[in-house]
Amino acid sequence: MEMVSPASHEKASVWWWFEALPKRLTAEVIETASNTKKLAQDDPRRVTHSIKVGLALSLVSLFYYYQPLYDNFGVSGMWAVMTVVVVFEFSVGATLGKGLNRALATLLAGALGLGAYHLANLSGHIGEPILLGLFVFIQAATSTFVRFFPKIKARYDYGLLIFILTFSMISVSGFRDNEILELAHQRLSTIIIGGSSCIIISILVFPVWAGEDLHNLITLNMEKLANFLEHPSVIEYFKTSENGESTDDKSFLQGYISVLNSKRNEESLANFARWEPCHGQFHFRHPWKQYLTIGTLTRECANRIDALSGHLNSDIQAKPEICSKIQEACTTMSLESGKCLRELACGVKAMTHPSSAKPHISKAKITAKKLKLLLKSSLWEQDADLLAVIPSVTVASLLIDIVNCTEKIADSVLELASLAHFESVDPTVSPEKSQVGQGEPDKPLTEIACPQVVIIVDGSENENPPGPLTNRHIEM
């Protein structure tokens, strides 16, 4: 047998690495291009934001390119460039918040820094550095402690950081620089110019509103929960119990998981939305906090749905005779809760009063009360095997909790509609003229239309529903 020397093996490995390098580089380039394209297609506003940042930086760079501006501001023009880099955010609210924080903090810290410098200067050559150090210590310690307050940290944390930095720089640099007043003036001017450029471009050039994003996020989260509950997942659970296997793919049921992780995004958007001026249908002092309340209740409902999903996909199934006793009630609660959430989502999206959700939540509550009485009755005493009863009872209990959560969400949405002065929809308006319609109680047939669903209330389905752009029909 011929032996291969270690040197030959090493040369072969190196040669193979160089030979495979072009293919690997080509694959990396293709993958990067694919990811870049997908990132831009997922949200085209990202491309627009990048162009806006480039435009703002090009404008403030004139402090260096244009000689008259450079003669007036000198190297302090770099503060305008730095301001654009750190202030320009994706949404208008985030940009306004950072810009105003930076400008006000610089102005206040500059004034106090100059005052501390002049006061320390009166103490003589020996006492001046001692007083300056004492002033820097007091303001840094106080500002840092204030940052621990939750409300202050949420809205003014960046401003406090800039305050600490500016006060320290101006008060300390004044000890070595006699032109401290001119230096403070130049830096404040360039920071205001850089921040103003960011704010103006952010508002005027394809603005991205944090309030609108929060509004759409809350709507989308409710629709995801409705998608789960409206699907016959409970019926499929009982079919699985009877036949031993599922006839449908439940992979779509994972759509609610993103709702569980939306808290940080909602709080961030609500904080930015408070900085934004009036835009579209969002007026001054819009009740953004109420959106957070709805988001919290939506996550609570998503937690129940997560537990329900675990039981629906469990390998431990209930006996068919037990499932048949609660199948109708569980199906009704699931469908009615889903319809209620969808009507609430349609109402919030269109900013109209979601009064059409009331019949659904009322029917779900009545069914839940009947099911509670059934569970408390002696119906289960004939079943000696408690392990066969537990799966069905657990599913029923979770659906009752979901009905309660849905009722809380409905109350919060109605409160939002009242605080934000949502438009009341005329019950006689046809589905073609409104995204959310409410039927008159004396008519036998009522259709509730929204961009996603048309719901027939009287049990008969029209072959040609008048609602436009509907995806499916759910019969009650």
| Residues 436 and 383 grouped into a single domain | no
Does residue 279 form part of some domain?
yes
| Residues 277 and 382 grouped into a single domain | yes
| Residues 262 and 346 grouped into a single domain | yes
pLDDT score for 376:
74
Domain final residue, candidates 174, 204, 234: 204
| Residues 432 and 414 grouped into a single domain | no
| Residues 347 and 297 grouped into a single domain | yes
pTM: 0.78
| Residues 219 and 114 grouped into a single domain | no
As for how many domains the chain has, the answer is 4
Does residue 4 form part of some domain?
no
| Residues 70 and 127 grouped into a single domain | yes
CATH number assigned to the domain comprising residue 393: 1.20.58.220
Domain final residue, candidates 204, 239, 263: 204
Does residue 1 form part of some domain?
no
pLDDT, mean of residues 134-150? 92
pLDDT digit string, tens, across residues 50-85: 999 999 999 988 877 777 777 777 777 788 888 999
For the cut 50, the answer to whether the pLDDT of residue 318 exceeds it is: yes
| Residues 182 and 217 grouped into a single domain | no
pLDDT digit string, tens, across residues 122-137: 877 788 888 888 988 9
| Residues 25 and 164 grouped into a single domain | no
| Residues 174 and 264 grouped into a single domain | no
| Residues 189 and 232 grouped into a single domain | no
Does residue 346 form part of some domain?
yes
Three-state SS letters, the chain = CCCCCHHHHHHHHHHHHHHHHHHHHHHHHHHHHHHHHHHHHHCCHHHHHHHHHHHHHHHHCHHHHCHHHHHHHHHHHHHHHHHHHHHCCCCHHHHHHHHHHHHHHHHHHHHHHHHHHHHHHCCHHHHHHHHHHHHHHHHHHHHHHHCCCHHHHHHHHHHHHHHHHHHHHHHHHCCCCCCHHHHHHHHHHHHHHHHHHHHHHHHHCCCCCHHHHHHHHHHHHHHHHHHHHHCCHHHHHHHHHHHCCCCCCCHHHHHHHHHHCCHHHHHHHHHHHCCCCCECCECCCCCHHHHHHHHHHHHHHHHHHHHHHHHHCCCCCCCHHHHHHHHHHHHHHHHHHHHHHHHHHHHHHHCECCHHHHHHHHHHHHHHHHHHHHHHCHHHCCCCCHHHHHHHHHHHHHHHHHHHHHHHHHHHHHHHHHHCCCECCCCCCCCCCCCCCCCCCCCCCCEEECCCCEEECCCCCCCCCCCCCCCCEEEC
Does residue 402 form part of some domain?
yes
Does residue 241 form part of some domain?
yes
Supply the range of the domain harboring residue 332: 210-424
